[in-house]
Structure 1
Amino acid sequence: MDTFSNEPQANPYEGSSAPHDPHRSPTDEQSWWRRPAGGREVLLVALPLVISSLSWTIMTFVDRVLLKWDSGDAMTAAFAAGTVWFSTLCLPLGIAMYTSTFVSQYFGAGRHDRIGLAVWQGVWMALAVSPIILLAIPLAPAMFRLADHTPEVMELELIYFKILCWGGPAMLVGQALAAFYSGRGKTSVVMVVDTSVAVLNLALDWVWIFGYLGFPAMGIAGAAWATVVSLWIKAAIYAYLVLQPQHREQFGTVAGLRFDWPLFIRQIYYGGPSGLQLALDIVGFTVFIVLIGRLGIIEAEASSMAFSVSTLAFMPIWGMSMAASILVGQHLGENRDDLASRATWTALTYALCYMAGISVLYLAVPDVFLIWFFAGDRSGEMRDQVHPLAVSLLRFVAAYNLLDAMGMMFSSAVKGAGDTRFVLRVSMVMATLLSVLSWVAVEWLELGVYGCWAVITLWVWVMGIVFLLRFLGGKWRSMRVIEAAPPDLPVQELETEPAVS
């Protein structure tokens, strides 16, 4: 078994270069749009991922709105329970997501026979941890009692959380299988599948929450079951696509079904810190949400609205950062760290433009986003208290959006190279700080909801600056997660097709 290190390594293919494109003119090299790793290449990879992320964001947003129409407690409970559920999945989900980095580097190096094998190691990991994930169901009452929420909200939280747990294995398997496409830059497939399943989820939400087409009105339970069913359908679609005959021959998607211990361990070694980083970030955020819930129902509901709206900014940038990670992996597989760097800066340009625009909307016309939450509130009892607070909290979101984009972009770029242990160390420190500072703000200094939101704004700023400095340091440029190619494999065989076709 290979020994691993995420320290810079000697390039196994020193002196090789990216494939020459006979259709590229000297002018293209100078054009921001047409040059390698320029605007066009990044957009073709990123836009489907942005649309995919946005589709699920809109689905979650509408899900919260529909639950708000059912009851304010249902919306608050779904937000809190959904966050806790996601935090239980973060470690294995981060490993499953990191499968795309292996696929991208194998693809960039032209080693297509290893791609199917890498994808299935991610699936085996997902199936192995699934029984552990389901153990969270009997532990749920003890977990939610710690939050000290009202009995009504806690009852709804338990219903939502326990049902969602049955969709956890499907989320992990689906993410590992999706890496087969995202890692190769074929992100349009991911867009079509994810968007279609998101539409299905919304339809099931409408039918099962309110009780249409002969189904009983299930409220928050209906929303949870809609998510679970959609996740399993998505996993099944990806499995069907990956096993198509053309993929079996070119990428070994059937031959790679076997368990490969060295590659499995390698993916755990590099993906594990990525998963832990995601888990720590979410745990810190979950503690923040739980503490906000202790301030009162008005504060909890307004914060749930603000965070639900903020996903309209966050998730598209998440998609853009995934594209940056994929392109970094592909170009490092080609041993072109210059193009990997350029792709990251190009993706950041898009991200900052988007974040700036949506932040202006949060400040200038917040009701464009908030009005939907109150459309089903016929009594208007909570509106006068919740609405102005939610408007104020969106100003905090606007204040940290640009630094949030920067942090996501640069952390994803260095993870795409294999610098996952640094990202983990930063997250360990920052998640602890977020939890401690949130507790101090609520329980000790009694700064209230604005104090808590000031804490998370400062936290995002610091994260963005730290990952910018790491990226500029350049240590990631000589890192690789894949093993060196066999010595008898000629360099020219490593040349591969363009990342986007």
Structure 2
Amino acid sequence: MDTLENEPQENPYEGSLVPHTTVEHPEEEQGWWRRPAGGREVLTVALPLVISSLSWTIMTFVDRVLLKWDSGDAMTAAFAAGTVWFSTLCLPLGIAMYTSTFVSQYFGAGRHERIGLAVWQGVWMALAVSPVILLALPLAPAMFRLADHTPEVMQLELVYFNILCWGGPAMLVGQALSSFYSGRGKTNVVMIVDTSVAVLNLVLDWIWIFGYLGFPAMGIAGAGWATVVSLWVKAVIYLFLILQRQHREQFGTLLGLRFDWPLFVRQIYYGGPSGLQLVLDVLGFTVFIVLIGRLGSVQAEASSMAFSISTLAFMPIWGMSMAASILVGQHLGENRDDLAARATWTAYTFALGYMACISVLYITVPEVFLASFFAGDRTGEAREAVHALSVALLRFVAAYNLLDATLMVFSSAIKGAGDTNFVLRVSLVMATSLSIVSWMAVEWLELGVYGCWAIITLWVWVMGVVFLWRFLGGRWRTMRVIEATPPDLPPGELETEPAVS
């Protein structure tokens, strides 16, 4: 049995001091692949998440390609409107995503009876904010007028944005429910559900954008409704899965359906900064995209292509970083910060290897990624200018890819421990800086599209270094988000052994 020392660990949440556990474990001579928190364990959790994120990345990529075949304005509008829509969801989405950290730490601590309760607090939060999300509908015209895009693009942006808003509640509920599987490391279920729904989305895209099987051709509106329907299907699937009998009995997924104010507050306390960080990062990025749009249609279209292609690199690393966060939570729940650190470095090794390969491809064979955008080009207007600029912008993506992997893995690792306030402070400074410097580059210094892309590259580099420095500092090792003792035990009566369901 592990020895408990009476040294309290630092935790920013009042009343959440937990004893620091010193554990003597002989190092297993099993090699990098087979040892705890080694390659096999990390890849078992990460690979399904990578495939899941890739499925949605490919879906989004094909969605943009199909809209480009319809019109270049439709693709540009979908990218800008989709970014703005996502920014309106970031705060509650970040809290819903953080539900997985509570699940992972409860799971690592062996307190299975708290898992269903934690998941449902994320769902109640999602349902509570859903009416607020729809308030963005009447504000949409004013938001898109600020972008100063062409009237044709603005009209398409409004159509796409207004439709996507009806899928916001489903995205939040689905994210909270999926944490039941992702937080426990059962990421193969997430992979199957997300991939299946992504395929459904693509089929609906093809039918509704161009008008097949008796449906009218709806263009960008068809792409929007395809996304909304897919998001609701995904939420219903997860609801059905978590209410299966074995989950009701072992994890309390039905008994935990009640509202629990103390746990709800804890999840808001820790997940709130994570959500605000997501808001700030996306807001800074959204301002950047909007300002690029002011440089001209060629610059806007080429930037939309480059960012759409860059998600082929970004989203798989998001899956790897989510795995790092999950494993950090689980191993800290076990009071094994050494394994949490090892899992993070292992995930980082995989992330760097992938990013290095994709960056080389961006530089050497950009046509592999660009050809599909132009395959359905019906007009050919400004084709060469857009193509040449897209090739150049992919080199900027290659330049920041490795630091992007650093940023994502280490920020996710410290968030998995509960260090969300630091992440929020960094994002507040960096997102504000990105917005101000981007505005100065476009409106004052007139640096053009290359100057703007140099700014976003430098921004990623700085963020990557800051989060690596924070991780190496080690303060995350003593943090936890779950209660020090089960709520039904008086203070001081710690469980000496994990609860077994």
Distance 2:460 2:418 in 1: 23
Q: Does 1:38 align with 2:38?
A: yes
Partner residue in 2 for 1:236: 236
How high is the TM-score relative to the length of structure 1?
Answer: 0.95
1:491: how far off? Answer: 2.2
Instruction: Find the counterpart in structure 2 of residue 27 from structure 1.
Output: 29
Deviation digits for residues 172-223 of structure 1 (CA, Å, limit 9, x no counterpart): 0000000000000000000000000000000000000000000000000000
- d(CA) in 2 for partners of 1:260, 1:56: 33
Alignment of 1:485-500 (within 5 A): 485=485, 486=489, 487-488=492-493, 490-494=495-499
Partners of 2:113 and 2:20 lie apart in 1 by: 18
* Distance (Å, rounded) in 2 between the aligned partners of 1:247 and 1:359: 42
- Residue 455 of structure 1 is matched in structure 2 by 455
Give the AA of the match of 2:497: Q
Whether contact under 8 Å (1:17, 1:334) holds in the other structure is no
Contact 1:8/1:479 (8 A) holds in 2 = no
Q: Cα distance 1:247–1:302, how it changes in 2: closer, same or farther (>3 A)?
A: same
Does the 8 Å CA contact 1:9/1:479 hold for their aligned counterparts?
no
Shift of 1:5: 1.6
The count of corresponding residues between Structure 1 and Structure 2 is 487
* TM-score after normalising by structure 2: 0.95
Q: What is the aligned-residue identity percentage?
A: 81
- Alpha-carbon deviation of 1:492? 2.2
Q: Provide the residue aligned with 1:198 in structure 2.
A: 198
Q: Aligned residue for 1:134?
A: 134
Q: Using a 3 Å threshold, how does the CA distance of structure 1 residues 7 and 262 change in structure 2: closer, same or farther?
A: closer
- What SS class does the counterpart of residue 166 from structure 1 fall into? helix
Deviation at 1:495, TM superposition (A): 7.5
Partner of 2:300: 300
C-alpha deviation, 1:488, in angstroms: 4.3
Mapped partners of 2:443, 2:500: distance in 1: 59
Query: Matches of 1:61 and 1:473 in 2, distance apart?
Result: 38
* 1:262-296 CA distance string (max 9 Å, x none): 00000000000000000000000000000000000
Structure-1 residue corresponding to 2:341:
341
Q: Measure how far apart 1:104 and its partner are.
A: 0.2
- The Cα offsets for residues 45-104 of structure 1, whole Å up to 9 and x where unpaired, read as 000000000000000000000000000000000000000000000000000000000000
CA distance in 1, matches of 2:117, 2:15: 25
Partner Cα distance (2:499, 2:455) in 1: 48
**What letter corresponds to residue 75 of structure 1 in structure 2?**
M
**Residue 390 of structure 2 aligns with which residue?**
390
Residue aligning to 1:499: none
DSSP-derived class of the 1:14 partner: strand
Could you say which residue in structure 1 is the equivalent of 2:19?
Answer: 12
Question: What is the distance in 2 between the residues matched to 1:262 and 1:457?
Answer: 42
Residue type of the partner of 1:410? F
User: CA separation in 2, counterparts of 1:482 and 1:44?
Assistant: 25
What is the rounded CA distance, in whole Å, between the counterparts of 1:393 and 1:257 in structure 2? 48
1:14 is displaced (CA, Å) by: 2.4
> 3-state SS of the aligned residue for 1:127?
helix
Equivalent residue, structure 1, for 2:282: 282
Superposed counterparts of 1:155-174, under 5 Å: 155-174=155-174
Gaps of 5+ in 1: 497-501
Question: Following the alignment from structure 1 to structure 2, what is the Cα–Cα distance between the partners of residues 371 and 32?
Answer: 40
Aligned-partner SS, 1:27: coil
Deviations 1:369-405 (A, max 9, x none): 0000000013322211100000000000000000000
- Residue equivalent to 2:261: 261
| 2-structure distance, mates of 1:403, 1:75 | 28
The equivalent residue for 1:148 is 148
Task: Find the residue that maps to 1:360 and give its secondary structure.
Answer: helix
Distance of 1:493 and 1:408 partners within structure 2? 32
Paired letter, 1:273 = P
Give the secondary structure class of the aligned counterpart of 2:376.
coil
1:92–1:275 Cα contact (<8 Å) kept: yes
Provide the C-alpha distance between the structure 2 equivalents of 1:200 and 1:426, rounded to a whole number of angstroms: 38
